[in-house]
Structure 1
């Protein structure tokens, strides 16, 4: 099974920017839910789609060991915006919210159960505060929050933070955020927001091979 990693943060805190050192790296693919330019020069090969079935096909088709779903929260938002006007009221709206929850839950399950081993899939989402002041992934409706708890489906949850000119990943729970990682995976509470550092820590911790290692064993 693949390892899903959740990365959350406010806009401008460095989620997409953390990919800056993956440019022209064949071991990285990018699925862009929103068709917007990257915040740095260069290209990361991949796809642009907000269709769940296409996202799943891309995850399977990818030859890279690392796949990023950028702006993944807009899978939820776009489905709501495209469907709420025609849903009507009452049961129609209730059904739409159920479908939104089902689709996103199924995607995370698909990553964990269907994407090949040795791959890491990074799911990037915006954050929001709930009624208790806890910082969590931004969603729509109560189904994903109350019945699913998105962050509970991930063993590694990193939060992007900006401190002055420094952009960081927070690796453990701090300041009300849901950040978490296995004991000993990261030596410090914060690390530079370079996703290559995250990949290195995960692969070393779980003793996951990559393309280079696979080639050496053949």
Structure 2
């Protein structure tokens, strides 16, 4: 089973910037929306761009790289919803929910030494909980996406610094295994996060291609 980690945060909270120190030669980047990466020297990154759930699964299974980053995941759901917005009834919500579950299920079934980072937006529920942004209550009633993974980090900005929160504050879905991260707040650096995960689970980090 692969280690799938959610990186959740508002737009501008530093999610995409967090990949800056990963090695583009040994990282597979899937962009749901094609857009420039928000850091210098990003030309080395060659992204596979698709919002098709089946192609995301196919690309993740095909790559030989041990680190996979899926950026702007929430738009996989939103784009399908918008394309089908004129459809009557609730079938589209069921389909979007199934497609989302299929992606998570396929990613989790990748080899044990694979690490997947899903970068996605957050939303606040009526009860004030901050969670992964989805498409309505019908999906949320059937699937708790955060519950399918062991690590959920929340991207935030504090004192003009972009950070990851590693501990639950009682009103969000942040979580990490006991002892994986010493600090409640860490730099928004996925290379450092990946190193911590590899050390914790005794996984070999990829060598640059």
After TM superposition, the structure 1 = structure 2 runs for residues 41-56 of structure 1, keeping only pairs within 5 Å, are 41=40, 42=42, 43-56=44-57
1:112 paired residue number: 108
Task: Name the SS of the counterpart of 2:69 in structure 1.
Answer: strand
The equivalent of 2:94 in structure 1 is 98
Does the 8 Å CA contact 1:185/1:205 hold for their aligned counterparts? yes
Q: Which runs of 5+ in 1 are unaligned?
A: 213-218
Query: Is 1:2 aligned to 2:2, yes or no?
Result: yes
Shift of residue 122, structure 1, vs aligned partner: 0.6
Q: If the length of structure 1 is used for normalisation, what is the TM-score?
A: 0.90
The corresponding residue for 1:32 is 31
RMSD: 1.3
Instruction: Please say which structure displays the higher CA radius of gyration.
Output: 1
Question: 1 CA distance for matches of 2:8 and 2:24?
Answer: 23
Contact kept? 2:28, 2:67, Cα under 8 Å = yes
Alpha-carbon contact 2:166-2:174 (below 8 Å) kept: yes
For the Cα contact (< 8 Å) 1:144–1:150, is it kept in 2? no
The structural deviation recorded for 1:175 is 5.9
Q: Any gaps of 5 or more consecutive residues in structure 2? A: none
Kindly tell me the number of residue pairs found equivalent between the two proteins: 205
Distance apart, 1:177 and its partner CA? 1.6
Displacement of 1:116 after TM fit?
2.0
Indicate which of 141, 145, 168 corresponds to 1:146: 141
Matches within 5 A, 1:65-214: 65-85=66-86, 87-88=87-88, 93-113=89-109, 115-174=110-169, 176-212=171-207
What is the correspondence of 1:12-31 to structure 2 with a 5 Å cutoff?
12-22=12-22, 25-31=24-30
C-alpha separation in 2, matches of 1:32 and 1:94: 28
Taking structure 2 as the reference length, the TM-score comes to 0.94
